[in-house]
Amino acid sequence: MGSAFPRWLTLSGAIPFIACSAALWLAPPAYRAFATTVLTGYAAVILSFLGGIQWGLAVNLIDTAPKSARTMFLLSVIPSLLAWAMLLLPEPGSRVIVAIGLFAFVWVIDALLNLQKLIPAWFFKLRSIITVIVIASLAIAIPKV
């Protein structure tokens, strides 16, 4: 299969981030709260999904490197739990800023996995590209939330 299909799926996954950020700038002010809720809700879902990647890596390491696996299991749930807590923040701007920090945190985990050669180079490159797109989309939204 190679990396073309996952690349296409990953980049397609950026559409809601871009669309919600554009809606915040282009839609009437009455729709901003809804667009922000959709944006941060989608961010929480994707952060949970990304944690699942690390969980899967931990499952593969449990027999050969149990200490590393335990660390990976722990790191895999942190983004999901913090993303869920992010949704409880009353200030929309705070939710967006926390989402940016969480996406950066997950990228750092991926960078460490890449250094240890636990993920393919093409995957880390793709994760780097999509992380820039997502963080830029979220940052562009901040003035309008």
- Whether pTM > 0.75 for this model: the answer is yes
Per residue of the chain (145 residues), what is the pLDDT tens digit?
A: 468 999 999 999 999 999 999 999 999 999 999 999 999 999 999 999 999 999 999 999 999 999 999 999 999 999 999 999 999 999 999 999 999 999 999 999 999 999 999 999 999 999 999 999 999 999 999 999 9
Contact (CB, 8 A) for 84 and 44: yes
Separation between Cα atoms, residue 60 and residue 85, nearest integer Å = 29
Q: Give the list of residues 6+ apart from residue 52 with CB closer than 8 angstroms, or none.
A: 76
CA distance 14 to 26: 18
